[in-house]
Amino acid sequence: MDIHTDSYKIAALSERDEAVEIIRNAEAALAELTGNPTVTLIAYEKSTGGHT
């Protein structure tokens, strides 16, 4: 996958254990619903100075 955007960047969640756990739980729930065991969610945050 190749995603290009100037408006957003991947959110740094390494020190946000609760946020990471929520995303993991959502991935597991989506994997169960879709039957696809390789669901991956990506968290983005708005970049400063980015273009829309």
> pLDDT, tens digit, for every residue of 6-43?
788 888 887 889 999 999 999 999 999 999 999 999 88
Let me know if residue 17 belongs to a domain: yes
Let me know if residue 51 belongs to a domain: no
Let me know if residue 38 belongs to a domain: yes
Let me know if residue 3 belongs to a domain: no
Q: Which domain holds residue 13?
A: 8-46
Task: Tally Cβ neighbours within 10 Å of residue 42.
Answer: 10
Let me know if residue 52 belongs to a domain: no
Q: What's the number of domains the chain is made of?
A: 1
Let me know if residue 37 belongs to a domain: yes
pTM for this model (two decimals) = 0.69
Are 45 and 11 in contact, with CB atoms under 8 Å apart?
Answer: yes
pLDDT tier for residue 44 given thresholds of 50, 70 and 90: confident
